[in-house]
Structures are given as C-alpha cells and as structure tokens.
Amino acid sequence: MAAENPAHYHTNTPWNEPGAEPYIRIDHVTKKFGDFVAVNDVSLNIYRGELFSLLGGSGCGKTTLLRMLAGFEEPTAGKIYIDGVDMAGIPPYARPTNMMFQSYALFPHMTVEANVAFGLKQDGTPANEVKERVRQILDMVQLTQFVKRKPHQLSGGQRQRVALARALVKAPKLLLLDEPLGALDKKLREATQFEIMNIQDKLGITFIVVTHDQEEAMTLSTRIGVMHQGQIVQIGTPQEIYEYPNNKHVADFIGSVNLFEGRMIEDEPDHVLIDSPEAGGKIYVDHGISASPDARVWAAIRPEKIQLTKGDRGEPYNCIKGMVKGIAYMGNLSIYLVQLDSGKEVKVTMPNQMRAAEQEIGWDDRVTLTWHANSPVLLLS
C-alpha cells in the first residue's frame, strides 16, 4: 500500500476480519422506478463505527440507496438489515436512522433550538433532558450563540451544522448524510470535513455518506463504495480505490488518470510487458496479472507518477516521447499537457519546486515521459 499517511487513519479494519459481524447488511437490493433500474442488485456490508462513502456521478443510484436505508423508498427486491433487524416495511419514523439532507431541510418556521429538539420531542423525551441534550450537541457544533435564530438568519455553514446537530442529537444507530458538504465553499468544506470526522470519532455512530466529490470521499471515509449505473463497481479504502482501481471507470472517476490501451506480450508472475502503440512504446509492469496472453489491457498511470524530462531519452521500457502542448500553473504544482508522437494527449503533474519563471520545461519543448515499473495499474475492463 502507498506510503502516504491518510488524513484520517483507522487502525481497525473489521472488513478484513473473517468473523466480524456487519452492522448494516444490504443484501441483493434492487430498486426499479418503472422500467428504470436505479439500484441493481447491490450487496454491501458496513461495520459498526465506519464512515462509509457511496461515491458516484449523478444518477448512479447512490441517493436511492441512501433513501432506502432511511425508509423513504422500499427496495423492489432484496433486504436491508440494520443491527440485525430486517427493515422491510418499517417506516422512516420508526427506523434507528437519521438523515442529514442535501438541502438541509431545516424547518423554516422554527428556531435552531426547536429544529434540533424536534426529533427528541417526537420520542417523548422529558423536557429537561431535551434541553440538556440540545445544549450539548449545539455546543459540539459551536452554535450555542445562535439558538434563538431561525434558519434564514444563518449562513450556509451554520445551517449545515444545525442540520448535522439535528440528525446527531438522537444518537441514531446509523447516520445518513446526503452530499453533506455540497453547498459549502472550499475553506469551509475542509474545516467541516474534519469536524465530521471528529464527531464521528467521539460518538462512534456509523455514518454513510453519499457524495459525488471524490476528494470529500477520500478524506472522510474508512471505506468507499464506488457506484456506477446502479451497481457497486468497487469497494475499498481510499488508498485501495486510488492506487488499485479495478476498472477504467473507477480509475477515471477517482482523480485523473492516463489510460494506455495495449496488448499483453509477456505475462510472467513477476512482471508483465505490454505493447501499446497508443503510448508509442512498451510498458513494463513489475507485478503480474492473471489474463490470457494477447489480451487487450489498459495501463492506468496517475499524472503525478510520471516524470517529465527535457529532450529525447532512450530506454527500452516505460519511456515515451512527446511535446508540451500546454502548462496549467496551479501554484503548488503545474499540470503539463503532453501530446505524444502517437497523437494521444497525456496529463502530467509536477510539483513546483522552483519558481515559475525558472521552470526548465516550456511550451512546445520535446520531452520524455518516464515512470517507475510499479506505477501503472493494469485494467482488463
């Protein structure tokens, strides 16, 4: 696994333990709207205390899956178990789940305090206990001074925290978050991400987050389930998903990636050799895959794993040539768009160790692209 230390590191990995009992079990769930299959035979185990992200583009079925967990939709087929209890036919108000809505769905005619207290009051919690718990949770999300305000008197970030507090105050077995950070600006997102992670650590509630933002999923999650066209295409930790995507779609969706189509010419247990006319050379990978010889494969290489050097250099493998067609200066790094001799365009990112004016590679320079033999990921589909 990659050497980089993730922002939020979980030492316990119950999904790797064979005997571990899943807390939420989604068992062959399908949801159809008329002829349209929104969720297609999804099976998923989520463990207690996890912060699991469902990641995918719009229309991939992630929100439908979340709504089935909350009870707003009933699965067409399959079962959902929360803490061992079959959720079939249990209405939203009787489920041990709470949801934080994408639009926050704060009650506009109630104060912050009343919004947060709403859920507790529905359960008939005694008034003084309601007051105490509301105070605690508002303290946690740092909204104590806004208790008497109505939602329209709050900023976007404050509303988001009210929504979070309202969902958390009942200490549900499962907290569902629908694009929780979608409406916030970048600075606030980063701050809130860490806030959510802290709260999750503190309360030990199991979270399921739906998002289309891979960065959000990467920083928040213990594990990510990537969804595409109603199916889960890959489940794994952020590092696994990023470093070892199992198909082109995942590789492309998580971060950016350069894909080289090629034909396998050597397949040994310790290495693979691919002939890729698209890349304009041979690609050597230091780990084997199990595929039929001559198979069509794609080598996926992340932009930051490619080295750019000026001029033409010759090496038998993992060395391709092209011309710089564009440079995007991003401050901390630059993105180079290189057109290979085959015509294919490749993205390369390099940290800006020197000031922009002193960069040695400029527009229309001939360059050589190289990478380490363990960098490419080979994909069969």
Q: Which is nearer to another protein, 108 or 293 (CB)?
A: 108
Distance of closest approach, residue 167 Cβ to another protein, in angstroms: 8
Q: How does DSSP assign 305-372, residue by residue?
A: GEEEEES----SBSEEEEEEEEEEE-SSEEEEEEEETTS-EEEEEEE--S-GGG-S--TT-EEEEEE-
Q: Which of residues 184-213 bind another protein (CB under 8 A)?
A: none
The kind and range of the H/E element at 30 are strand 24-33
- Of the residues 16, 19, 128, 152, which one makes contact with another protein according to CB under 8 A: 152
Regarding 97 and contact with another protein (CB under 8 A), the answer is: yes
Look up tokens 């932009």; give the residue.
303
Closest separation in Å from C-beta 103 to another protein: 6
Stretch that binds another protein, among 93-101, 154-162, 205-213, 308-316 (CB under 8 A): 93-101
**What is the C-alpha separation between 246 and 377, in angstroms, rounded?**
9
Instruction: Draw the binding track, 107-126, toward another protein (x: CB under 8 A; -: no contact).
Output: xxx--------xx--xx---
Nearer to another protein, 174 or 327 (CB): 174
CA distance 330 to 318: 27
Q: Which residue from 133, 166, 305, 344 is in contact with another protein, where contact means CB under 8 A? A: 166
C-alpha pair distances (Å), 328 with each of 122, 199, 325, 336: 54, 38, 10, 6
Q: Which of 98, 206, 276, 334 binds another protein (CB under 8 A)?
A: 98
Among 57, 84, 92, 156, binds another protein (CB under 8 A): 92
Segment interacting with another protein (CB under 8 A) among 100-108, 132-140, 221-229, 351-359: 100-108
Residues in 168-187 that interact with another protein by CB under 8 A: 170
Select from 40-48, 65-73, 315-323, 337-345 the region that touches another protein (CB under 8 A).
Answer: 65-73
Comparing CB distances to another protein, the nearer of 36 and 93 is 93
Q: 14 or 172: whose CB is closer to another protein?
A: 172
Q: From CA 88, how far away is CA 336, in angstroms rounded? A: 52
133 part of the interface to another protein, by CB under 8 A: no
Cβ count near 363 (within 10 Å): 11
* Binding status of residue 156 toward another protein by CB under 8 A: no
Using CA atoms, how far apart are residues 24 and 190, in angstroms rounded to an integer?
A: 28
Structure tokens at 156: 């976007």
CA atoms of 306 and 331, how far apart (whole Å): 19
Residues 301-320 that bind another protein (CB under 8 A): none
Alpha-carbon gap, residue 75 to 89, rounded angstroms: 10
Give the ranges where 141-204 is alpha helix by DSSP (H): 156-168, 186-203
| Positions that interact with another protein (CB under 8 A) | 70-72, 91-94, 97-99, 101, 103, 105-109, 118-119, 122-123, 150, 152, 166, 170
